[in-house]
Structure 1
Amino acid sequence: MLFCSDKSFLFCFLCLSTSFSDSSVSVYFKRKTNLYFRREIAVIPDYVLSLTECAMKCVCKNKCVSFFYNHLDFCCQLGGKTYVSFADSSTDPWKYYERQMTNVASFKLVSMSSEWNPPHHSPSYAVDDQVLNTLNGAKCACTQNDFTPWMVIDLENTFDVNYVTLFNRIDTLGERLQQVTVYLGEDSGSFSVTCGTFTGPGENAEVIHIVCNKPATGRFVKIQMNNFQRNRYLTLCEIRILV
């Protein structure tokens, strides 16, 4: 059984039956309106009958947490890159939907391997619930050129993490973000669980969802860049931990 609403909130309930067991999955999507998002136009979308069918495709696809839907042409895009946009795209028929979950990283304590040009790139900018288009990556958290730069967020409680969203630098040098791994741990000195990775290289204003391998439980989340080339600056304009 599947039901979806065409409003900002989208509810999908999918009953699954396999040869091993009977199970059900409840999934909520929400049309994101606090920021504008644009899709990778090089990807060919699928034709669907409705928003419901597009949501169904995402529910049934492994590690799908978001999609674009065109309500005029009945098109659905699950793959491709996602970018945050600062142009008013309210009239664009392509609307962005994402899993409705709770961001537990907001305004939590963040530590970094180092800090570039303080206070313009303080760690707190990574969890201030703002994604800003600024010159020189200002008001984005940024490390110095460390060997393996990292950021650690203390969630203050232990959570089952579903996915981690990284907002790359907006203006330039987005390609620096590569070979990123997200770890989880019960204390700030030990990260025994690997959520997932992003190979990259990233692009300017790219929004990256790293969907955790299950189980992924921890209080501390570490984002580390294992890029052993030059320009090993880890710059993130926002980090969201979704549970």
Structure 2
Amino acid sequence: MAKLFFIFLTYTQLSLHLGSIVQYEYIKQEDAPLYGELSCQVSSESSFMACVILSVRSKSVSFFFNKNEHVCRWDCIFLASRSCTTYCTEPWSYYAIKWKTNAALSRPVTSSSVYFNESIKWGSHYATNGARSPIEREIFASHFEMSPWLKIQLIDPKSITFVRVYNRRDMLGERFHDVAVEVSPDEFGNFVQRGFYKGPGLTDQVIEILCDYPASGLYVRIRITEGSSNILSIAEVEIYVV
């Protein structure tokens, strides 16, 4: 987690097109992301609060704001192999949803299947081991199936803010598409969708999926919901809680 430069608390309650009420807390970060932006949506002559609203409406975990020119950049696509430079230095500031810790690290994980049943190469445990393999092995990969999934058990029920997925880094990033983030209070399959990523993803993309507010559970499942022959591939998944 980036070191906090100063804390700017903004509780924003908005009625979105679905009629739901959301509440998020954005915090100014001293350090730029470890990964860099490939593209963002841009709004000129924008106030800081307008930038917050644009970010909330698009369910962006983070945004950039230029205090001198009043320019907002949100809904960004990030790649793990790039460094953030142009929009991560003065007069730009970087804001991100407040989180406490990555609750997925080293937690037990199961999946609908493992590619060719070879757990040594593509087992589900690679999704929470804290490493992001740059090659096709030592990542999680499922069989080709209609709705592959990966399920993480947290240490206890948590209030979940967002899920960060490091897409596979070698090729075929577009396989990550139509992905639901589902949360359950128990192991009996009472999952409810609390976040969604349409995609398709890019190779090496860092995908952040903001959950509906509030989202609380003991189990988090990442599942492809559309298509008939899908493979779920993930280099690493992080679940951020408050």
Q: Percent identity?
A: 25
Change (3 A) 1:10 1:175: farther
The alignment partner of 1:161 has SS state of strand
Alpha-carbon offset, residue 98 of structure 1: 2.8
Match in the other structure for 1:135: 135
Q: What CA deviation, in whole Å up to 9, does each residue of 1:173-220 have, x standing for no partner?
A: 011111111111122231332112112211112222222223321100
Residue identity in the other structure for 1:155: L
Alpha-carbon offset, residue 112 of structure 1: 0.8
Change (3 A) 1:206 1:104: same
Match in the other structure for 1:196: 195
- Using the alignment, how far apart are the partners of 1:164 and 1:158 within structure 2? 15
Task: Note the residue ranges of structure 1 that are not aligned, 5 or more in a row.
Answer: 1-6, 19-23
Alpha-carbon offset, residue 151 of structure 1: 0.5
Change (3 A) 1:234 1:77: same
- Report if aligned partners of 2:186, 2:218 keep a CA contact under 8 Å in 1: yes
Aligned length: 221
- Using the alignment, how far apart are the partners of 2:158 and 2:222 within structure 1? 16
- Report if aligned partners of 2:24, 2:97 keep a CA contact under 8 Å in 1: no
- Report if aligned partners of 1:71, 1:94 keep a CA contact under 8 Å in 2: no
Match in the other structure for 1:237: 235
C-alpha RMSD of matched pairs (Å): 3.1
Change (3 A) 1:226 1:129: same
Normalising by structure 2, report the TM-score: 0.76
1:57 aligns with 2:51: yes
- Report if aligned partners of 1:29, 1:97 keep a CA contact under 8 Å in 2: yes
Deviates more, 1:148-157 or 1:64-73: 64-73
- Using the alignment, how far apart are the partners of 1:15 and 1:99 within structure 2? 11
Alpha-carbon offset, residue 8 of structure 1: 5.2
Residue identity in the other structure for 2:124: P
Match in the other structure for 2:123: 122
Aligned residue runs from structure 1 range 154-165, under 5 A: 154-165=153-164
Match in the other structure for 1:93: 86
- Using the alignment, how far apart are the partners of 2:102 and 2:80 within structure 1? 18
Change (3 A) 1:144 1:29: farther
Match in the other structure for 1:78: 74
1:218 aligns with 2:217: yes
Alpha-carbon offset, residue 108 of structure 1: 0.3
- Using the alignment, how far apart are the partners of 1:227 and 1:46 within structure 2? 36
- Using the alignment, how far apart are the partners of 1:29 and 1:99 within structure 2? 9
Deviates more, 1:59-68 or 1:177-186: 59-68
Residue identity in the other structure for 1:242: Y
Alpha-carbon offset, residue 84 of structure 1: 1.7
The alignment partner of 2:208 has SS state of strand
- Using the alignment, how far apart are the partners of 1:25 and 1:225 within structure 2? 26
The alignment partner of 2:163 has SS state of strand
Alpha-carbon offset, residue 106 of structure 1: 0.8
Change (3 A) 1:55 1:64: farther
- Report if aligned partners of 2:42, 2:72 keep a CA contact under 8 Å in 1: no
Match in the other structure for 2:19: none
Match in the other structure for 2:7: 11
